[in-house]
Structure 1
Amino acid sequence: MAPRVLICGDIVWAHEEVKQLFDGIAEVIRMDSTTRTDFMAGLKTSGKYAGIVGIYRHNTSADHIGIFDREIIKALAPNVKWIAHNGAGYDQIDVQECKANGIFVSNTPGAVDEATATTALYLLISTLRQFSFGERSLRSNTWKSPIDPGCTHDLSARTLGILGLGGIGLHLANLAHAFPMRVIYHSRSRNHNAPEWCQYYAKMEDMLKESDVLSVHVPLRKDTESLVGEKEIRAMKKGSIIVNTARGKVIDEDAMIRALADGHLSSVGLDVYPDEPNVNSRLLEFPQLALLPHMGTENQDSQKKMEIRALTNLRNFLTKGKGDDLISEMR
């Protein structure tokens, strides 16, 4: 009897690949629960999801059944052994509870690198040149007013500090270097794949002191929540900029808004927020900001790559006993 796997959330682009990857290997079940109660009932011995050993998970499933918290993880054990999450960030999964119950978790890091890095580049350019502000002035028929040219800068004259030089950060570094910007970075350890022109700072504060723009590329974990706080923001130059395409809670939003209000930060470019889809109304008081509704990977090319990569991780678990792209906490 073929093992059962559950598609939990949307498959939009890779329908044919689902057939190709799992034909003759597994029975693929689609989650159709519209409530957590129904989902939990389906996991019971006689339920519609009984016996599943692996899950493909997309964040859209949370709209119906909530995040994969302790309650859900305990209900998945002991049968489920692999959760193939679609996305680089996996903060909607209780990873420690997964470890405690022998469930491995994978993500899709490389598949999002280009899309997220180009989103960060757009926010970087838009905030330095105030292009987003300029477009809004045109649409409101004020023609560049009240934009101050003294607050805009060429990229080539600026230093970009990258917090977290993983796949996304390294891709952004190469994009920014083309202008050319000076690129420096801080990570938990030196990235040996970094080019020689990308300077490593062992201490985050030392990097912040030299950064005109800080771009954030670290995952959200307990140890990275509010990683960029009051002290870190004030360590940056007056008039500097923060770009965030990682997770909203990595930055202390209140500290960031205070720095915008008193002019220590000249602008920020954000694609992520602490309480999505809710956006702090204070941010809307600063017209120079560039704000996006978490659309860094909202394109069909990246989303198909992410779907295929997550599905492949699940297939490899079934065929090889171990998938790829294990999250760092599981290595």
Structure 2
Amino acid sequence: MKIVVIQEEIIQTDITPKELTERWKRLEQLPGIDEVVIEVPAHYPNIEQLHTYIGDADAVFGLWIGSDNMNEAFLSQHPNLKYVATLGHGWEKFDTEMTRKRGISISNTIYGSQTIAEYAFALLMDVCHHIGTHDTRIKTIDWSVPENHNEFCKSVTRQIELYDKTIGVIGLGAIGFAFAKMAQGFGMHVLAYSRHKKTGAEYDFIEQVSLDELLARSDFISLHTPHTPATEHMIDQDTIARMKDGVILINTARGALIDEQALADALATGKVLAAGLDVLTDEPPVCGSPLLTAPNTVITGHIAWLTRESRIRAIDMAIDNFRCYLEGHPVSIIN
């Protein structure tokens, strides 16, 4: 069996390509593996480059799943392909029935539940307390001037407490559940809406409600649901109108969950008090994107997943998932 790995580029300061490559070489230890080819492109390859890399492989790791590659035209050029692993939690819509008919198993890698939940909570804390703003202020004021001394112990932004407030979690998968547990630890009342109600004692601290009820009762809302046709623009003018006045919105899932113009308008009026976003519909953002100039908005560049620990964990989990596939009990299959 031939395996091709499309190793993701290094976009952080605390890990090297060599470290990732060495981790991927653990695939060679699996039974029945004849060849492991690790491609290390400078950037994620285009479609033609993907064809060249994948070639006659039986399995490929590191593909970003979507309709541009999970289609008949693309897959027909790789008749040996039977296993595809994306190294992320999420994926874009594709023809799942077609891939099943071709006998291809497609898996995701749920490596970053805690990592991404922590980042979502960091965004929440930042929009509530603006720590960076106050840090910059303290470091730039000339404290040798006596008249400036009254500027110490002063807040120039509203400070918002989380304790005893209600937070709504949309999407109660692994990331949403990790986030919900953090919110509970801060003494928040946790509501959640998910496509399927979760059962089990571990969910007892969460009040699972309808989307309408969550929108109406939540002081804060955090999005943790995949992007599908059903969830695209689920946060739009209509759903925002059903939210509490002054709600705070967090999104570390997918940018297309939000109608960005509707959110920008709501931020301008104060209907939405603030937003913390790690994802946008267009990445990088297009010129004139309404959220770039919206008030009370913190935006980062899709980095919630980007810790050293998560990069290593993603590789280890992808290999473990593949081992399960080879042993006849596949896990994390999304098609």
TM-score by length of 1: 0.83
Distance apart, 1:25 and its partner CA: 2.9
Tell me what 1:122 maps to.
122
**Conserved 8 A contact 2:4-2:61:** yes
Gap runs ≥5 in structure 1: 44-48
Distance apart, 1:245 and its partner CA: 0.5
Tell me what 2:48 maps to.
37
Which residues of 2 match residues 208-247 of structure 1 at below 5 A? 208-247=215-254
Question: Residues of 1 paired with 2:107 and 2:227: CA distance?
Answer: 15
Question: Residues of 2 paired with 1:286 and 1:221: CA distance?
Answer: 26
**In terms of mean alpha carbon deviation, does 292-301 or 275-284 score higher?**
275-284
Q: Does residue 187 of structure 1 match 2:194?
A: yes
Question: Residues of 1 paired with 2:271 and 2:4: CA distance?
Answer: 49
Tell me what 2:183 maps to.
176
Q: Does residue 290 of structure 1 match 2:298?
A: yes
Return structure 1 stretches of 4+ with deviation > 6 angstroms.
142-146
**Conserved 8 A contact 1:133-1:290:** no
Q: Compared with structure 1, are the counterparts of its residues 116 and 39 closer, same or farther at alpha carbon in structure 2 (3 Å cutoff)?
A: closer
**In terms of mean alpha carbon deviation, does 279-288 or 228-237 score higher?**
279-288
Counterpart of 1:6, as a letter, is V
Gap runs ≥5 in structure 2: 10-16, 143-150
Question: Residues of 1 paired with 2:120 and 2:49: CA distance?
Answer: 39
**Conserved 8 A contact 1:22-1:28:** yes
TM-score by length of 2: 0.82
**Conserved 8 A contact 1:81-1:102:** yes
CA deviations on 1:145-181 (whole Å, 9 max, x unpaired) are 99443xx311104211000111111111111111111
What is the number of equivalent residue pairs in this alignment? 311
CA deviations on 1:58-117 (whole Å, 9 max, x unpaired) are 54x99xxx95253664235532111011010122866455335332211112x2101000
Tell me what 2:168 maps to.
161
Tell me what 2:264 maps to.
257
Question: Residues of 1 paired with 2:134 and 2:241: CA distance?
Answer: 28
Which residues of 2 match residues 272-291 of structure 1 at below 5 A? 272-278=279-285, 281-286=289-294, 288-291=296-299
SS in 1 for 2:88: coil
Question: Residues of 1 paired with 2:310 and 2:5: CA distance?
Answer: 19
Which residues of 2 match residues 1-12 of structure 1 at below 5 A? 3-10=1-8, 12=17
Q: Compared with structure 1, are the counterparts of its residues 187 and 90 closer, same or farther at alpha carbon in structure 2 (3 Å cutoff)?
A: same
SS in 2 for 1:156: coil
